[in-house]
Every structure is written in C-alpha cells, then in structure tokens.
C-alpha cells in the first residue's frame, strides 16, 4: 500500500452525462490560472473526453471506442514507453509520458496543466481482464494507480492531480477511488441525475472503512452542474438537497450554469480556449471562478464535509 503524499481529486458520479469532464477542466484551469498551481489531469474514462478536449484524440473507426490517443511528440523509441503513451500503460508495467496542454509557461501562463491521456481499447482491456480478479491480483491492480501517482517524482512535479473517471464501478474506477485524497461529485439537478449521488456517497464511505484516520478520502462536496437557476425544477431540487444533505452540498450560490460557453470550448481551433479567458462579466466565467475557488480552498485546507 502506498503513502498518500500528493493532492489527488477524483471527479466521481456513476451517472453519465452530468459533466464530470467539464468540472474537471474548470478546476484544472482555475488552479493553474488563478492559483498558479501545476496540475496533472488523468483521463480514466473510456470515452476519453478529457483527452480530446486537452490534446485531441485520433479518429480510428476500427479501434475500440472509435479513437486512439495521439502519438506522443516526445516519443523517441524508448522500449519502456509506448508510442501512443497513455495512463493505461502503467497497468501493464510501462512508463507514461504526460502531454503538455495549451496552459503552459511557454504560452505565458504562470503554471502548467499536463494530461495523461486515456486509451479506450486498453482501458476496456484492463476492466474486462481484472473485473473478476480476487485477492492479491485485485489488490495489486487497484493499488497500481495510487502507487504511480503518489511516487515522489510525480508529487514533486504537480501541486494537484485531477482524475476524470468513467460512470462504471469497474477496476479502473476503483483504482481512482483508492488513489484519491479528495473527491467531488458533479450532478445535474434533475431527478434522473440524482440517482448516482447516494451510490457515490456509499463508495466514499466504503473506501474510508479501509483507510487509516489520517488518510480518509475527503469529500469536497456535491457540485451542481448545468444549472438553470431560472427554472422551478432546478431551484426546487437544489433547495431540497441543501435541506437534506447540508454541508456536503456546495453552498447554494456556487454552481456551474447551463451555458453554451462550456461546449463551445470543445470546438477545434476556437479562441479563447479557456472559460477563464472569456469576457469578465460572463456568468459562466464568474460561476467557474466561484467553483474553482471553493474547491481549491477545500482541498488545500483539507476541510472535510461530514458524510452521514
């Protein structure tokens, strides 16, 4: 078992479509641009939306998931590395090269955001081969991500690591939960999107049963996303959750709104790239700052909301 040395935030929800990748990218960009923290994003979702957003995936109709990670620009034929280096490689005993993103010091930013991209075929292979593993093999696989991310070399390189996870509770997901020091649960305030909340709270509780007191997985909170604050259903749902769940919810005025500014960032070649580079008065930018500020304060103060 590894020592929890770094700050690792897992973005969790077993419900798809709630905006885990959006939340992960907003926090990564805020941390680098406003807090001047070097950030590593790790894409553990077989859909690889984070990888596509940050560096772009290659279309490959015959490949699992229809895409492949790009050839790494720094690959030099090293036998310990794959040409299309991805986070999946560490589960096969290989090294991995992070990709630089547009947020880097050479582009006049004061901190870097790097990404370890996903690989749909290899992530699926890991999940299928080890889904029914038990005993020593299962423990080894689940611990492998944490063994890697909490290595001193990685901890020294990054102030914050953000794990973008998939919606299924498979070995890769369990490895992310085991590696994380903090968790955030994004959700859309509608009935169909609330189903994953209790399940994720149970995941965190279960994980903490196996950890020492000083290594507990800290829930930074439930982060409302795609909020339409002018609708009765969203206002009512958020009010109900504030009343029922108390301090594990983000404060009632901190959320990400439904806005075209978020999906517009996915367009290739668009400028500006970051939500934090759009006009100062834009609601999406203002709310993103609030979400980033609240999340970073929780992580680096290590204040844990109570999970009943």
- Encode pLDDT of 177-193 as tens digits: 999 999 999 999 987 76
Q: What is the CA radius of gyration of the chain?
A: 19
pLDDT at 28 over 50: yes
Mean of per-residue pLDDT scores for the chain = 91
Rounded Cα distance between 24 and 11, Å, is 7
Rounded Cα distance between 27 and 33, Å, is 10
Instruction: Give the model's confidence band at 265: pLDDT under 50 very low, under 70 low, under 90 confident, else very high.
Output: confident
Instruction: Give the model's confidence band at 254: pLDDT under 50 very low, under 70 low, under 90 confident, else very high.
Output: very high
- Residue 216's alpha-carbon distances to 1, 88, 108, 173, 301, in angstroms, are 14, 26, 37, 17, 14
Between strands 39-43 and 182-187, the pairing is unpaired
Rounded Cα distance between 227 and 233, Å, is 10
User: In the CATH scheme, what is the homologous superfamily, with its name and number, of domain 8-301?
Assistant: P-loop containing nucleotide triphosphate hydrolases (3.40.50.300)
| pLDDT at site 193 | 67
| pLDDT at site 307 | 46
- Encode pLDDT of 89-138 as tens digits: 999 999 999 999 999 999 999 999 999 999 999 999 999 887 766 665 67
Rounded Cα distance between 147 and 144, Å, is 5
Distance of CA 280 to the CA centre of its chain: 26
pLDDT at 74 over 90: yes
Give the dihedral of Cα atoms 307, 212, 173, 252; nearest 10 deg.
30
Average pLDDT of the residues in 220-229: 94
Q: Where are the domains positioned within the chain?
A: 8-301
Q: What percent of the chain has pLDDT over 70?
A: 95
Rounded Cα distance between 19 and 30, Å, is 16
Instruction: Give the model's confidence band at 281: pLDDT under 50 very low, under 70 low, under 90 confident, else very high.
Output: confident
Rounded Cα distance between 44 and 86, Å, is 10
């Amino acid at each position: 078992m590894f020592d929890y040395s770094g700050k690792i935030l897992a973005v969790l929800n077993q419900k798809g479509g709630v905006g885990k990748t959006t939340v992960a990218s907003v926090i990564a960009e805020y941390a680098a641009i406003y807090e001047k923290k070097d950030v590593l994003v790790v894409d553990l979702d077989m859909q690889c939306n984070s990888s596509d957003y940050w560096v772009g995936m290659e279309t490959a109709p015959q490949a699992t998931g229809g895409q492949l990670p790009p050839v790494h620009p720094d690959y030099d034929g090293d036998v310990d590395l794959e040409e299309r280096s991805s986070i999946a490689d560490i589960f096969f005993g290989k090294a991995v090269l992070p990709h630089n993103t547009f947020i880097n010091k050479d582009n006049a930013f004061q901190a870097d955001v790097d990404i370890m991209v996903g690989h749909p075929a290899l992530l699926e292979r890991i999940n299928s081969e080890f889904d029914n593993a038990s005993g020593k093999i299962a423990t080894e696989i689940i611990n492998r991500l944490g063994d890697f991310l909490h290595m001193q070399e990685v901890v020294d390189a990054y102030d914050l690591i953000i794990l973008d996870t998939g919606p299924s509770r498979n070995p890769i997901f369990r490895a992310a939960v085991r590696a994380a020091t903090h968790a955030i649960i994004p959700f859309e305030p509608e009935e169909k999107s609330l189903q994953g909340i209790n399940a994720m709270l149970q995941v965190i509780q279960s994980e903490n049963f196996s950890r020492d007191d000083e290594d507990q997985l800290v829930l930074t909170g439930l982060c409302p996303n795609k909020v339409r604050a002018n609708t009765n259903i969203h206002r009512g749902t958020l009010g109900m959750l504030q009343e029922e769940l108390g301090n594990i919810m983000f404060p009632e005025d901190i959320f990400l709104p439904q806005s075209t500014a978020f999906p517009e960032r996915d367009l290739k070649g668009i400028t500006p790239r970051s939500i934090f580079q759009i006009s100062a008065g834009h609601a999406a930018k203002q709310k993103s700052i609030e979400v980033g500020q609240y999340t970073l304060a929780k992580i680096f103060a290590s204040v844990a909301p109570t999970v009943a």
